[in-house]
Structure 1
Amino acid sequence: MDETLETLTEEFIHEFCYDDTEDDRILKLYHERHGQSSRSKPRKSIFRDRETGHRRFVNDYFSPNPVYPEQFFRRRFRMGRHVFLRIVDALSNFDPYFQQRVDALRRKGLSSLQKCTAAMRILAYGVSADAVDDYVCIAESTAVEGLKKFVSNVVTIFEGEYLRKPNSNDVQRLLQMGEARGFPGMMGSIDCMHWQWKNCPKAWKGMFMSGHKGVATIILEAVASSDLWIWHAFFGVAGANNDINVLDRSPVFDDVLQGHAPDVNYTINGNNYNMGYYLTDGIYPKWATFLKTIPRPQAEKRK
């Protein structure tokens, strides 16, 4: 009976303490108070002053007179402060994990700002979960758990609004944006780029090796508008790829091939057109849905 009670107590502590280093400290106090020794070698306990970390973080970026102004925030977080706060607010309302709670010692847990910042910096800089500990005051295991929840919740919350193909209203907005910039009928820009895969498994490096970079990369095909709405992203194709063979496997024009292209009507030089196009560079094929940035290249390099 005592062993069962001890097991349940440990499970309760692990469930309601939101920093793994606090688990060890509370378990140690529990065992000492009951004259018992821990059944496993305890991990070294690190006292993270997460309350002070939260106050310092707010003072640096979110106070009325922050230490670092907006341009520093955008450079370090890869987005504007208002966008970041919208994501934090949405996650806090959607998942209780991102709400600040109180642990078994009546101490405040990690705030939503701390958890989201840890996830953002891991994603933005490709660093390990341990690299954000010294500033955000978050344990490695907590950072990994928060990153997984952050990614899945962002997809769940924002997929219907952002991670989708344009509807009729979006098409009209994209056409107006293109026409205002001298490109009537343009739906956006399409291109590919290589992202270095620093931690690519050795067994896969041959499949993802990039010739012109000499390192393992993942090629990303994306369609973006001038206001940076990326409504199509296709990546992860193995092989020595370029824009052409990625396009051959991409689903970006599946709707067009099936006759479900959005209605687009515009006039240029007295000619009426009913198919939108995408701005591309010179490597793409001469399709009606592509418009090269240099329509009549002269020199060999431009060709």
Structure 2
Amino acid sequence: MRIHSRVEAHEPYFQQKRNSTGKLGLSSLQKITAALRMLSYGVTTDFMDEYIRIRETTTIKSLRYFVESVIDIFGPIYLRKPNSKDITRLLKIGEVRGFPRMLGSIDCMHWRWKNCPTARKGMFTGHDHEPIIILEAVTSYDLWIWHAFFRLPWSHNDINILERSNVFCEITSGESYAVNYYIDGHNYNMGYYLADGIYPPWATFVKSIPLPMNQKTKHFTATQEFVRKDVERAFGVLQARFAIVRGPTRYFDREALNKIMLACIIMHNMIVEDEREFHPQLDIFEYEQISESPPISIISRTQTPELMNFIQSLHKIRDRIMHS
């Protein structure tokens, strides 16, 4: 009902009106229920005619206006980047779980595009021989999705998507919050994410060891793979809650698919926030708060050589960590 009241007040399309004969039209509950049932159950538009007495074209329009309204109203809150308080909590959770200064896990999810236009099938088709759109996401232990980058085709792999993603824009521009820590005689000023083996060897990624030879490396690999499953769990819960992103999508417009995916992620984060009190939380109140002072820009966005030097420094830091 919270979503219903906010969407009805935001979008005039959901407000109940009278036609020229004075007869009341469809209520906002009918339209929003039709949109939510399509998102939650992945049913077709003509299915709503039997249940809610709403025609197919009205269902499509209701879904389009609903996802746009959800993004406009709740996007700044539930699709935001982590602030200093959020980073403090994430760092403490990572420390308790054995990975100090960890910010989350990163991975990609695939969404099959059944009705992909013929002109775009070649671009969106990979080795599965089916058109697929990829979602890149960063999640935390409580399954909150902090970063979502959607719309790239399956012809890209995770590295190509990372090069086009904005997940590290703040780090490369020097505008992120400083996360200082000390390991084996070296100081570091950035957090890191757990990733699988396809990601590049940057200091911002901690990957498992491909062929662990001793007990120490075996323990690290098993722990890293166990904690990294947070992002896989988040994808599974997202698809279980919103069946529309689990099965093949029937829409033709890629921009509409992007809005549907973002709206599902927003409502997923709303559910995570609403159910947080029912799940045990880690003790995170003893960690020192990160400074709220505005960050200082270090690297310019416009100078490519400086960005390449920054990437090379990440390689050196990662090599030091691996050798230590």
TM-score band, normalised by shorter chain: 0.5 to 0.7
SS at match of 2:212: coil
User: Which residue of structure 1 aligns with residue 28 of structure 2?
Assistant: 112
Distance 1:248 1:115, change over 3 A: same
Q: Is the 8 A contact 2:38 2:45 kept in 1?
A: yes
**What whole-Å deviation, never above 9, does each CA across 1:238-276 have from its counterpart, x for those lacking one?**
461111111122121111111122222345688754211
Distance 1:107 1:270, change over 3 A: farther
Q: Does 1:297 align with 2:205?
A: no
SS at match of 1:218: strand
User: Which residue of structure 1 aligns with residue 46 of structure 2?
Assistant: 130
CA distance in 1, matches of 2:96, 2:17: 49
Give 1:119 deviation, angstroms.
Answer: 1.1
User: Which residue of structure 1 aligns with residue 199 of structure 2?
Assistant: 284
SS at match of 1:160: helix
Bigger Rg, structure 1 or 2 = 1
Distance 1:174 1:114, change over 3 A: farther
| Identity rate, percent | 56
Q: How do 1:268-283 residues align onto structure 2 when only pairs under 5 Å count?
A: 273-283=188-198
Return 5+ residue gaps in structure 2 as ranges: 214-220, 222-324
Return 5+ residue gaps in structure 1 as ranges: 1-84
Q: How many residues align?
A: 215
Give 1:101 deviation, angstroms.
Answer: 5.2
**What whole-Å deviation, never above 9, does each CA across 1:139-177 have from its counterpart, x for those lacking one?**
112212211211111111012212222222221122223
CA distance in 1, matches of 2:203, 2:212: 21
Larger relative contact order, structure 1 or 2 (CA cutoff 8 Å, min sep 6): 2
Q: Is the 8 A contact 2:137 2:147 kept in 1?
A: yes
Q: Which moved more, 1:122-131 or 1:102-111?
A: 102-111
Distance 1:110 1:216, change over 3 A: same
SS at match of 1:194: strand
CA distance in 1, matches of 2:48, 2:38: 8
Q: Does 1:162 align with 2:39?
A: no
Q: Does 1:193 align with 2:72?
A: no
Which among 145, 153, 161 is matched to residue 230 of structure 1? 145
Give the letter for the 2:56 counterpart: E
User: Which residue of structure 1 aligns with residue 226 of structure 2?
Assistant: none
Give the letter for the 2:60 counterpart: V
Distance 1:96 1:287, change over 3 A: same
Q: Does 1:176 align with 2:99?
A: no
Question: Larger helix proportion, structure 1 or 2?
Answer: 2
User: Which residue of structure 2 aligns with residue 248 of structure 1?
Assistant: 163
SS at match of 1:117: helix
Q: Does 1:146 align with 2:68?
A: no
User: Which residue of structure 1 aligns with residue 180 of structure 2?
Assistant: 265
Q: Which moved more, 1:90-99 or 1:237-246?
A: 90-99
Q: Does 1:218 align with 2:133?
A: yes
SS at match of 1:161: helix
User: Which residue of structure 1 aligns with residue 276 of structure 2?
Assistant: none
TM-score by structure 1 length?
Answer: 0.62
Q: Is the 8 A contact 2:132 2:154 kept in 1?
A: no
Q: How do 1:60-71 residues align onto structure 2 when only pairs under 5 Å count?
A: none
Q: Is the 8 A contact 2:190 2:204 kept in 1?
A: yes
Give 1:105 deviation, angstroms.
Answer: 6.7
TM-score by structure 2 length?
Answer: 0.59
Q: Which moved more, 1:161-170 or 1:192-201?
A: 161-170
Distance 1:105 1:241, change over 3 A: same
